[in-house]
């Protein structure tokens, strides 16, 4: 007797209902195709076509021969206790970028069953208190933080900790100290800013920000400067004064940056990359009021505090890749939960350029794709961002 199968649309509808039913019960894997075909009264060919559509819709993700339910509430339950560590006091973060990451990442993780909590510390926080919290966690997501012990002692403890549990650095502050990192690609951020200004026709371009480079273990700012400088060098535009850092003095940083930019514009420079948008309202006030922007002078900032987009007028900026980093973390934790995570984890998330009118329209059009790339093991950063869809799954 000839087997009568359901038509395609009926199979797809039934499969979608099954996915939702399994997700609501905390399951994160679909049965094998052979079992699914029998249960849904479908041919294997029709079932595969329906699966492909659900994958395209973002409901299912294929991993080898397994089909995973993307938004299952139980996907991250096997991670254990996840602790997000940052610098701050009570509920107030010291770094806006890390606060944005927490506010985007934590709800996503909780929806998929994660047991996640936040630990904010400052220079008065007891190291014993921090160690007690870290001991209880199974996964530690860590950004720069301080406590009442010297930095060297703190870093030594973190290196020992990562031999006992999964520790993931969220910034390049820990580059060279911790093995696992999921972070904004700061080198790409510098590259993107320089490329945008050069393509827009500016020729006397420079970078400014506070001077944290000398004797700093934080590679974030160093890599932004390196990416920016190398693009200018490739175009023959790198000068002795292309990098103009100012001392970070309490209450005077914005004033010093504004003075540096005003002097540069008066002497013939035509564009700047502010590698942090802290105090940007003060820094760009004179330039924006003079109507020199963008025809005679271009401005791009790194959107770390969010003040770039709140400025009047909004300042063109390179994003901090917050959603990309959050999505990459979700995928790493999903792999950890499913016991298939391959260590070390080295993921740098490429930012995007937000053109808000403080640079001239780009002379050459080109797509600015965001994505995730593997962190290079050497100083060579010249390769493409493979895995551009990696953090679009969530």
Q: What is the pLDDT of residues 21-47, one digit of tens each?
A: 777 666 778 888 889 888 898 998 999
Look at residue 90 in the predicted model and tell me its pLDDT: 85
Q: Using one digit for the tens of pLDDT, what is the confidence trace for 303-342?
A: 999 999 999 999 999 999 999 999 899 989 988 988 889 9
pLDDT at 249: 74
- State residue 74's pLDDT score: 76
Report the DSSP beta bridge partners of residue 246. 210
Q: Which two tokens stand for residue 98?
A: 């890390």
Structural domains present in the chain: 8-69 (1.10.10.10), 186-318 (3.40.50.2300)
Q: For the residues 281-288, what does the mean pLDDT come to?
A: 93
The pLDDT value recorded for residue 383 is 25
pLDDT-based confidence at residue 272 (cuts at 50, 70, 90): very high
Task: Work out the number of other CB atoms within 10 angstroms of the CB of residue 7.
Answer: 9
| pLDDT tens readout for residues 352-367 | 999 999 999 876 444 4
What are the pLDDT digits (tens) for 90-141?
Answer: 889 999 999 999 999 999 899 888 999 999 999 999 999 999 999 999 999 9
**171-221 pLDDT tens trace:** 999 988 999 999 999 999 999 999 999 999 999 999 999 887 655 677 899
Mean pLDDT of the chain: 87
Residue 381 has pLDDT above 50, yes or no: no
Query: What is the C-alpha separation between 186 and 176, in angstroms, rounded?
Result: 15
Contacts of 204 (CB under 8 A, 6+ apart): 237, 239, 268, 269, 270, 271
Q: What is the largest CA-CA distance in the chain?
A: 89
How would you classify the pairing of strands 60-63 and 66-69? antiparallel
Percent of the chain clearing pLDDT 70 (strictly above):
89
Looking at per-residue pLDDT, the higher value among 313 and 379 belongs to 313
The predicted pLDDT at position 372 comes to 61
| Residues above pLDDT 90, as percent of the chain | 62
């Amino acid at each position: 007797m000839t087997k009568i199968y359901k038509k395609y649309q009926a199979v797809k509808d039934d499969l979608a209902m099954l996915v939702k039913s399994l997700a609501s019960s905390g399951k994160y894997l679909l049965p094998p195709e052979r079992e699914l075909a029998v249960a849904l009264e479908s041919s294997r060919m029709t079932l595969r076509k329906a699966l492909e559509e659900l994958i395209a819709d973002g409901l299912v993700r294929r991993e080898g021969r397994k089909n995973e339910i993307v938004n299952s509430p139980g996907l991250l339950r096997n991670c254990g206790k996840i602790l997000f560590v940052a610098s701050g006091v009570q509920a107030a973060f010291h770094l806006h970028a890390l606060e944005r990451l927490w506010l985007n990442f934590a709800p996503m993780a909780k929806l998929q069953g994660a047991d996640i909590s936040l630990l904010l510390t400052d220079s008065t926080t007891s190291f014993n208190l921090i160690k007690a919290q870290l001991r209880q966690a199974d996964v530690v997501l860590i950004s720069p933080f301080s406590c009442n012990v010297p930095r060297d002692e703190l870093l030594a403890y973190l290196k020992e900790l990562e031999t006992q549990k999964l520790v993931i650095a969220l910034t390049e502050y820990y580059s060279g100290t911790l093995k696992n990192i999921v972070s904004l690609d700061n080198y790409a951020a510098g590259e993107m800013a320089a490329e945008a200004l050069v393509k827009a026709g500016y020729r006397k371009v420079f970078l400014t920000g506070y001077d944290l480079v000398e004797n700093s273990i934080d590679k974030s700012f160093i890599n932004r400067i390196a990416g920016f400088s190398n693009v200018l060098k490739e175009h023959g535009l790198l000068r002795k004064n292309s990098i103009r850092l100012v001392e970070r003095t309490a209450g005077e940083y914005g004033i010093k940056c504004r003075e540096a930019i005003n002097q540069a514009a008066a002497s013939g420079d035509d564009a700047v990359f502010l590698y942090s948008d802290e105090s940007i309202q003060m820094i760009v006030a004179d330039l924006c009021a003079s109507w020199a922007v963008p025809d005679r002078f271009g401005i791009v900032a790194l959107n770390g505090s969010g003040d770039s987009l709140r400025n009047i007028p909004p300042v063109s900026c390179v994003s901090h890749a917050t959603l990309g980093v959050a999505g990459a973390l979700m995928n790493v934790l999903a792999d950890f939960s499913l016991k298939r995570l391959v260590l070390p984890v080295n993921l740098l998330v490429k930012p995007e350029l937000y053109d808000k009118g403080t640079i001239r329209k780009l002379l050459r059009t080109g797509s600015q794709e965001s994505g995730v790339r593997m962190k290079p093991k050497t100083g060579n950063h010249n390769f493409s961002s493979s895995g551009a869809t990696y953090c679009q799954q969530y």
